[in-house]
Amino acid sequence: MFRFEKSVLSFAVVALFSGVAAAQSVDDVIANNIKARGGLDKIKAVHSVRTTSKLSQGSFRAAYVQENKRPERVREEAIIQGLAQVQAYDGKVGWQISPFGGRKDPELMSQDDTKTLVIDADIDGPLVDYKQKGHKAELAGHDSVEGTDCYKVKLSLKNGDVRYYFLDSDSFLELKIENQSNIRGTVQYTETYFGDYEQVNGIYYPFAVETGDKGSDSRIKFAVEKIEQDVSLDDAHFSMPAAKAEAKASPAAK
């Protein structure tokens, strides 16, 4: 009699946890993340975003501006003493201007160096419509971020990189992302922390972001000052200036 009751109890426990696991599939967790951010309709309704921040790392300080526009355009600027280091992606190529390295002319970026920009150019974020974008997601259980229980979502990106999203098990908002990226044959591990979420026109954005090598205490910190939606941004703002192309063409014209 005792053994029979124990078997019934074991079966009930297994059934209960199986039901819980089924209810917490990776698609359910991602759907809750999207809902927590403000919902798919509101996220999709935003056509452009400008984020203005203060960047710091140790004693280093800079102004930082990131601008996004559909489809797949991003421009990022770090501004120091009136000079701007620019990295941008126009949906086809990545380019940069590095005045602090003595390069004032725009130059094309390598495919590896452009990988992060391509992901940054996704205004909705990689989790939204991840299947249509060619990514693969799986639920990797639970983990904690500074004592907070999180769902851990593994996202294998189309470009071969792997991201682990740590989503607060209560709010479903991102608390951390760990990234594994293959750059010139070497796997680089970085992590980014998110906090101080605030609502802008019905969508939650993190106003405190810290990023750096995984396990390192030396992080670049972004203190967001302002987020503007649907700002007017010309497509040419994201395209590489023609100066370099003209300079290359001029000798041949002679």
Mean pLDDT computed over 168-189: 95
Q: Is the pLDDT of residue 250 over 90?
A: no
The DSSP code for 16 is H
Closest CA to 179 of 166, 165, 190: 190
Q: Is the pLDDT of residue 176 over 70?
A: yes
- The predicted pLDDT at position 23 comes to 52
**What would you report as the CA-atom Rg of the chain, rounded to the nearest whole angstrom?**
22
Strands 48-57 and 60-69, by their bridges, are: antiparallel
> Residue 251: exposed, middle, or buried by beta-carbon count in 10 A (0-12, 13-18, 19+)?
exposed
pLDDT confidence band for 21 (50 / 70 / 90): very low
Mean pLDDT computed over 209-221: 93
Predicted TM-score (pTM) of the model is 0.85
pLDDT confidence band for 168 (50 / 70 / 90): very high
H or E, element range at 28? helix 26-37
Mean pLDDT computed over 124-139: 98
- The predicted pLDDT at position 63 comes to 97
CA atoms within 13 A on the CB side of 126: 25
Q: Is the pLDDT of residue 46 over 50?
A: yes
Closest CA to 222 of 93, 99, 114, 78: 78
What does pLDDT average to over the chain? 88
Share of the chain above pLDDT 70, in %: 86
Mean pLDDT computed over 100-116: 89
- Residue 108 in tokens: 């094309």
H or E, element range at 45? helix 40-45
How are the residues of the chain apportioned to helix, strand and coil, as percentages rounded to the nearest 5?
A: 25, 45, 25
Closest CA to 72 of 52, 51, 94: 94
Mean pLDDT computed over 39-64: 97
Closest CA to 48 of 72, 75, 70, 65: 70
Q: Is the pLDDT of residue 17 over 50?
A: no
Query: Residue 167 — φ and ψ, nearest 5°?
Result: -105, 125
Mean pLDDT computed over 191-211: 98
Mean pLDDT computed over 211-221: 93
Q: Is the pLDDT of residue 5 over 70?
A: no
pLDDT confidence band for 104 (50 / 70 / 90): confident
Amino acid present at 140: A
- The predicted pLDDT at position 44 comes to 98
Rounded CA separation 211/178 (Å): 10
- The predicted pLDDT at position 14 comes to 37
Q: Which of 82-86, 225-229, 247-251 has the highest mean pLDDT?
A: 225-229
- The predicted pLDDT at position 16 comes to 38
- The predicted pLDDT at position 62 comes to 96
Rounded CA separation 176/169 (Å): 13
